């Protein structure tokens, strides 16, 4: 029986990628081997790999899967934990799905979720989800290799792109909307739970 080559791609957050590669190197079953060149792979596994995979590459592999930092189908694309907080979602998570020619649009294999508390930031959610991702990788490695899993459809939802995030950072319009003499201003809570009010001062005002 010939050996099947497995390539694990991770271009962001090298720590999580390295952890997954390390686990795989010690736990690949007989008949599978890690390779250093994705073009030589039979099975391609993306762990936060942020490059669009060519359709010809996908179709020429036995299997291509992705660990996506977000709950699908609602949160396709990037910076999904920031958007989940902006959209006041109660949960965030990680989705394991097959890769197709779209953006995070392939059939879903598994989703794991975590609650978002009112003290969470995008950073705390991200690192908590990285722990979830690693455990999902370990639990699903054998199923990914064998292809013995069921999928559900991945339709609808929204695609969030990096270029959209700067517009969400500008809260000037929110501050302006609640700037009214003798009425409560826009606010946020700091790490001490103190309510901090924001005021708007027009340029030259």
pLDDT of the residue at 43:
98
pTM: 0.90
Provide the percentage of residues in the chain whose pLDDT is more than 90: 81
Yes or no: say if 7 and 38 are a contact pair by the CB < 8 Å rule: yes
Yes or no: say if 16 and 130 are a contact pair by the CB < 8 Å rule: yes
Q: What is the mean pLDDT of each run of 10 residues along the chain (205 residues)?
A: 91 82 95 96 95 94 97 96 95 98 96 95 96 98 96 95 88 91 91 90 70
pLDDT of the residue at 12:
61
pLDDT in tens, 51-82: 889 999 999 999 999 999 999 999 999 999 99
Look at the block and give the residue holding tokens 């908590």: 128
Entry field: residues in the chain: 205
Phi (first) and psi of residue 78, to 5 degrees: -120, 170
Yes or no: say if 163 and 77 are a contact pair by the CB < 8 Å rule: no
pLDDT of the residue at 131:
97
Look at the block and give the residue holding tokens 């455990």: 135
Distance CA 173, CA 82 (A): 19
pLDDT in tens, 20-40: 999 999 999 999 999 999 999
pLDDT of the residue at 51:
87
Distance CA 141, CA 195 (A): 46
Which alpha helices (DSSP H) does 87-185 contain, by range?
122-146, 165-169, 172-177
């Amino acid at each position: 029986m010939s050996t099947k080559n497995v390539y694990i791609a991770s271009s962001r957050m090298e720590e999580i990628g390295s952890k997954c590669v390390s686990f795989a190197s010690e736990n690949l079953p007989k008949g599978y081997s890690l390779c250093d060149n994705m073009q030589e792979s039979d099975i391609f596994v993306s762990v936060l790999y942020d490059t669009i995979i060519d359709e010809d590459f996908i179709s020429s592999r036995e299997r291509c899967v992705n660990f996506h930092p977000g709950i699908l189908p609602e949160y396709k694309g990037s910076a999904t934990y920031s958007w989940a907080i902006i959209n006041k979602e109660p949960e965030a998570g990680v989705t394991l799905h097959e890769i197709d020619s779209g953006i995070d649009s392939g059939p879903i294999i598994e989703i794991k979720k975590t609650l978002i508390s009112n003290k969470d930031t995008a950073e705390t959610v991200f690192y908590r989800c990285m722990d979830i991702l690693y455990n999902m990788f370990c639990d699903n490695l054998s199923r990914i290799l064998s292809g013995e899993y069921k999928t559900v459809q991945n339709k609808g939802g929204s695609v969030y792109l990096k270029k959209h995030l700067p517009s969400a950072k500008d809260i000037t319009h929110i501050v302006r909307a609640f700037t009214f003499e003798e009425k409560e201003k826009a606010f946020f809570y700091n790490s001490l739970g103190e309510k901090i009010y924001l005021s708007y001062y027009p340029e030259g005002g």
